[in-house]
Structure 1
Amino acid sequence: MTSLSLRSLSQTCCLLVIATAIACISTTPTSAQQPKTEDGFTSIFDGKTLEGWKKAAENEDAWKVDDGKLMCDGERCHLFYSGPLAPMKNFHFKAEVMTTPGSNAGIYFHTKYQDTGWPKHGFECQVNVSHKDPKKTSSLYSVENVDAKTLADMNVKDNEWYTQEIIVQGRRIQLIVNGKTLVDYTEAENKEPFDKNFERRLGEGTFALQAHDPKSKVYFRNLRVKKLD
């Protein structure tokens, strides 16, 4: 084979490799294009917009979509799920969460939209690895709390993703981090409100993500839920 033929063959092979690489890049979805899917679960965040979510009417710039993630960074503001699955009673919720040092946030459930303030209705699943509040990640806030040693023993750290699950079935609430159940709580029948400011009782409602304060930057991704009977 002549050197000219070899050169032509080499150029052809290079073109094929480049074309294949371009095709792969153009067809491979990014995290922002395709949220994680799981049998029986429905994604409630599309990775690109706040469609299906409603911000409280205070400090609305605290919530942003950042490269396939929901990011809170600013003064107090709650982001309420307002999509077609709401309201919910029995469900299995999953999300991936990443805290930054000293940050605090939360995931409310069985709650209701309100313009301002800390949500009165439902419960809060705490999001806090290193904030000064002693109630740590996966606490059922002020009902059954998780301490810092528990998280340390599980190697849950700031700047690393962990998976938070919330399961509500009847009067039972389970809060699970990275596959380990940290709270398993059964609500008493005819439970009275926690106090005049917070119900902290089961009923039905929606989810709300919490932007807590200007020093608390937290990320959420791959939010999905499955309704249970």
Structure 2
Amino acid sequence: MCKNSCEIFKFLTNGFLVLSLVFCFQSCKEKKQEAVTEVSNEMPQKGDDFVSIFDGKTLTGWKGDVNYWRVENGNLVGEVTPETLLKRNTFIIWQEGQPGDFELKLEFKITESGNSGINYRSDLIDSIPNALKGYQADIDGKIRYTGQNYEEKKRATLAYRGEKVKIQTQDNPDVAGSLRGNVKKNCWQSREVIDSLGESDSLKAKIKSEDWNEVHLVIKGNRLQHYVNGVLMSDVIDEDTINRKLKGHLGVQVHVGPPMKVEYRNIRLKHL
């Protein structure tokens, strides 16, 4: 092979090598970009689908008596003072829907004298402003009731803290139609405790006094589960087709009694 031919061959060979390196580099770069794109596309799928229903700045989307409810330091605050003592319980009620099957997460802090609760699948009481009747995740400052399922102005206590309960179907129309007649010692009588979730006092130790606690409600079909700080506190299977509700209003309460303050934050809802 002549010298010129060798030089040309060498040039072509080196050029091919350079082109190969450029192609490989570009290919690797594209693959890296594809990989980044794939991860980026997957990130939204890692969300928990909960949507904030309280903006931390205003009472937009909520309705209640502003003598008792306000926004302070990013929190929804309910307060009863010596000058504003209540004659009846009052609520601030979410206005953007009536959830049926859902999960709710929020945090609360309550003074020792406080009594509050989270109502759900509840009805408005026409004769009383800002009042609800229905299921309630009970909350109180002395931690006597926190975690239990109490039905406001209806069947009273459905499950105490530490109980898994089945609410029995009412075949007797006299009992079914008389809520007061079937309540004794503030507890619905047509119920069966089918399992224990733990001793009430042991579960109480999981709840912080006058500090922030997280509530997680899992409400699906006729099963109502109340968690506090990740611990299942009460579990109700409601087979009472006459008195149960499968959807309704959502709100939080300040209760009749001494001056008190309750705060809620990070209120998030997921429809199931």
Taking structure 1 as the reference length, what is the TM-score of the superposition?
A: 0.70
**After superposition, what is the alpha-carbon deviation per residue over 1:80-137, rounded to whole angstroms, capped at 9, x for unaligned?**
0002xx12110000000111112110100001334437522x2011011317xx4x11
Partner of 2:122: 111
Partner Cα distance (2:130, 2:250) in 1: 15
Higher strand share: 2
1:90-169 superposed matches below 5 A: 90-114=101-125, 115-116=128-129, 118-120=131-133, 122-130=134-142, 134=144, 136-141=145-150, 142-146=157-161, 149-154=201-206, 156-169=207-220
Instruction: Give unpaired runs (5+ residues) of structure 2.
Output: 1-46, 81-85, 151-156, 163-199
- CA separation in 2, counterparts of 1:96 and 1:42? 15
Q: Which has the larger radius of gyration?
A: 2
**Structure 1 spans left out of the alignment, 5+ residues:** 1-37, 194-200
> What residue in structure 2 maps to residue 82 of structure 1?
95
Counterpart-to-counterpart distance in 1, 2:252 and 2:205: 26
The percent of aligned pairs where both chains have the same amino acid is: 29
The 3-state SS of whatever aligns with 1:149 is helix
Letter in 1 for 2:245: L
CA apart distance, 1:220: 0.3
- Tell me, in whole angstroms, the C-alpha distance in 2 between the residues paired with 1:41 and 1:157: 24
Larger mean Cα displacement after TM superposition, 201-210 or 216-225: 201-210
Aligned counterparts of 1:92 and 1:180: Cα–Cα separation in 2:
15
Give the total of aligned pairs. Answer: 173
Higher helix fraction (1 or 2): 2
Q: Which amino acid aligns with 1:139?
A: Q
Q: Distance in 1 between matches of 2:139 and 2:132?
A: 15
Cα deviation, residue 153, structure 1:
2.5
In structure 1, what is the Cα distance between the partners aligned to 2:130 and 2:98? 21
Question: In 1, are the aligned partners of 2:222 and 2:246 still within 8 Å (CA)?
Answer: no
Instruction: Give me the whole-angstrom Cα distance separating, in 2, the residues matched to 1:152 and 1:145.
Output: 12
Measure, in 2, the Cα distance between the counterparts of 1:129 and 1:63.
18
Aligned residue in 2 for 1:183: 234
RMSD: 2.0
Task: Provide the secondary structure at the position in 1 that maps to 2:118.
Answer: strand
Does residue 212 (structure 1) correspond to residue 212 (structure 2)? The answer is no
SS of residue in 2 equivalent to 1:94: strand
Residue in 2 aligned with 1:203?
246
Partner Cα separation in structure 2 for residue 218 and residue 153 of structure 1 = 20
